[in-house]
Amino acid sequence: DSGVTQTPKHLITATGQRVTLRCSPRSGDLSVYWYQQSLDQGLQFLIQYYNGEERAKGNILERFSAQQFPDLHSELNLSSLELGDSALYFCASSEGLAGVFETQYFGPGTRLLVL
Amino acid sequence: SQQGEEDPQALSIQEGENATMNCSYKTSINNLQWYRQNSGRGLVHLILIRSNEREKHSGRLRVTLDTSKKSSSLLITASRAADTASYFCATDKANYGQNFVFGPGTRLSVLP
């Protein structure tokens, strides 16, 4: 158990809909990272937040947005969903802001299926 | 193509044998990490090796890094069925603030 929790575990929705994925980092970790894992794209970094502020952006679509709250939990919002958004979405956390120098602890993921 | 790419894509061995996976990358790095993922689950950190290190050990794991060849290898000795998983290398780019780029992974199957 990494100490990172994600809800929900599974999500089935229809195209055009909007969903929110939630992540609670390990106690004491200030950075949260979001990743998308699909069969064709592999594991793609989406975005990082550090202590409530956006720190780095990866391959995140404009239809997607995220935020980190004062209690450090984070939410990833996916809107106007398309079939291709079906994937595993992982949240990870680390102690500081320098993700490249730190171990990231991954949550169990949310499996999203868009029908 | 990707910053980090693992090779082979898939590997099947018998319990007790050693498994070697390789990772190649394209640009200079600060460090390289190896992660394991059991089917459909979150990634688990295995080992971090910094660009000024050449070899690190952790239990049955041995990681080497050759910055001149821009490659790393992960060796699992005396493999067990429980080692069956996908293994990913994650590299940064040697600019502060860049986040990890994960390769496509090597799928290891250890047969009892």
pLDDT digit string, tens, across residues B55-88: 999 999 999 999 999 999 999 999 999 999 999 9
What are A38's strand-pairing partners?
A42
**Buried (b) or exposed (e) across A49-65, using 16+ Cβ within 10 A?**
bbeeeebbebebeeebe
| C-beta neighbour count of B98 within 10 angstroms | 19
Best B86, B88, B99, B106 residue to mutate vs chain A (most A CBs within 10 Å): B99
Instruction: Name the residue with tokens 């290898």.
Output: B73
Instruction: Name the residue with tokens 């409530």.
Output: A52
**What are the Cα distances from residue A52, in Å, to A30, A48, A68, B60?**
8, 10, 5, 39
Give the distance between the most distant pair of CA atoms in chain B: 44
Q: Which of A15, A34, A46, A16 is nearest to A73 (CA)?
A: A34
Residues 6+ apart with CB under 8 A from B78: B16, B18, B60
User: Which span out of A4-8, A45-49, A102-106 was modeled with the highest average pLDDT?
Assistant: A4-8
Between CA A69 and CA A82 the distance in angstroms is: 27
Q: For B47-54, what is the mean pLDDT?
A: 93
Contact residues, chain B, for A58 at CB < 8 Å: 99
What integer pLDDT is reported at residue A19 of this predicted model? 98
What integer pLDDT is reported at residue B93 of this predicted model? 64
pLDDT > 90: percent of chain A? 78
Out of B31, B43, B99, name the one closest to residue A106 (CB).
Answer: B43
* B103, B6 contact by CB (below 8 A): yes
Contact residues, chain A, for B32 at CB < 8 Å: none
For B83, phi and psi rounded to 5 degrees? -80, -10
Between CA B17 and CA A77 the distance in angstroms is: 45
Number of inter-chain CB pairs under 8 A, A vs B: 63
